[in-house]
């Protein structure tokens, strides 16, 4: 599974880790995150993330 980077702040969403503080279980692909999920650091929406090369 690909990691995704928040373009405004640089936070990396790693599907192997998930977002425990946001209630996202490890193993959750970025595509499977709720549409209203936001960056835990800066609050940017999913549309502000880009796949990591």
What is the per-residue pLDDT across 28-53, written as a single tens digit (0 to 9) for each? Answer: 999 999 999 999 999 999 999 999 98
pLDDT of the residue at 20: 96
**CATH classification for the domain delimited by 4-51, as one of 2.20.28.10, 3.60.15.10, 2.60.40.1250, 1.10.10.10:** 2.20.28.10
- pLDDT at 53 (0 to 100): 83
Average pLDDT rounded to a whole number, residues 16-25 = 97
pLDDT confidence of residue 46: 98
> Taking all residues of the chain, what is their mean pLDDT, rounded to a whole number?
97
Q: Find out whether 9 is annotated in a ligand binding site.
A: yes
Mean pLDDT of 8-25: 98
10 conformational bin, left if phi > 0, alpha if psi -120 to 50, beta if neither: left
Tell me how crowded residue 7 is: count the other CB atoms within 10 A of its CB.
14
> What is the Cα–Cα distance from 44 to 53, expressed in whole angstroms?
20
For the sheet with 12-13, list strands across it.
Answer: 12-13, 4-6, 49-51
Q: Is 42 annotated as a binding residue?
A: yes
Q: Residue 5: enclosing H or E segment and its boundaries?
A: strand 4-6
């Amino acid at each position: 599974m690909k990691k995704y980077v928040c373009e405004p702040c640089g936070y990396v969403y790693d599907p192997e880790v998930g977002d425990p503080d946001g209630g996202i279980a490890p193993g959750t692909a970025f595509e499977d995150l709720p549409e209203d999920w936001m960056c835990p650091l800066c609050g940017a929406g999913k549309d502000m993330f880009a796949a990591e090369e």
